[in-house]
Amino acid sequence: MQNQFNNKSTNKIVVTGFLLIILSVLAAIAAPLGSRTGYWDYTAAVMILEWAAYIGGASALICLIATFVIRPRRGRLGFFLTLLGLAIIIPTLLYLMYWKNAEENAPPIQDITTNTENPPEFWSAPNARVYGGPAIAAYQEKAYPDIQPLLLPTPPDKVFDFAVEVVRKKGWELLEANREEGHIEATESTFWFGFSDDVIIHITPTDSGGSQVDMRSTSRFGGGGDGGTNARRIRSFFSSLKSRAHK
């Protein structure tokens, strides 16, 4: 009788922990979506994400302890819920930890370019951000020393076509494609929060008959850091462009 009572009590705790996991996952999804649709601002979204992490961590601990208390033969439903809960919440917590770490450790800049001395200027994108000069360049050089112009042996005219092709394949909104000036502009909306980030791809010929590709990626709004998003965008684009040019 006592064992039956203990099993019922333990199962209630497990169910509570599982429901808290579902709540924390829904909150982690709703936070950026609510910000994206205008129900609350970015600050509120960050607060919701933090609480989602706290609740998720507590519920994960409940499930983890329960796996040692409940055995499959003594409570199959409870044991199944603990394993399912851990399978759901662990990836969520890892993502939230990654996002938090990126936000805290990325430099406080939102404008990344391969040419810090003479960064390309926007022609068509509704981006009024003025490059911050040596102070921003110093932050970038320390945090992202690999962000450099891309040199390709391919003639500029072909590189231009490849670059436009990559922009379209990535699903960016193409705003400008000036072949004569080797100037391309596009906008990408970030996946979760839907922030608009604008990019410039500028292609110039080299003395050897190849091409130099410079790129600038900057957040349209806000201040502080970008969690490394713009630097990752440049790396990803250059990697795709290099692969396309070498086919």
Residue-level length of the chain: 247
For residues 168 and 208, what is the distance between their CA atoms, to the nearest angstrom?
29
CATH dotted code for 111-245: 3.30.530.50
pLDDT tens-place string over residues 2-34: 344 355 666 677 788 888 999 999 998 888 788
Question: pLDDT at position 5, please?
Answer: 36
Residue-range domain boundaries for the chain: 2-105, 111-245
Question: pLDDT at position 130, please?
Answer: 86
Average pLDDT along the chain: 86
Confidence of residue 184 (pLDDT cuts 50, 70, 90): very high
What does the pLDDT average to over 40-44?
Answer: 79
| pLDDT value at 40 more than 90 | no
Confidence of residue 128 (pLDDT cuts 50, 70, 90): confident
> What does DSSP say about strands 111-113 and 196-205: parallel, antiparallel, or unpaired?
unpaired
Residue 99, judged by CB atoms within 10 A of its CB (0-12, 13-18, 19+), counts as middle
Confidence of residue 173 (pLDDT cuts 50, 70, 90): very high
What does the pLDDT average to over 111-128?
Answer: 92
Q: Which is nearest to 225 in space by CA: 165, 155, 159, 139?
A: 139
pLDDT higher at 99 or 204: 204
pLDDT higher at 72 or 45: 45
pLDDT higher at 107 or 19: 19
pLDDT higher at 12 or 238: 238
pLDDT tens-place string over residues 51-93: 888 898 988 888 777 767 665 555 566 677 788 888 888 888 8
For residues 48 and 243, what is the distance between their CA atoms, to the nearest angstrom?
40
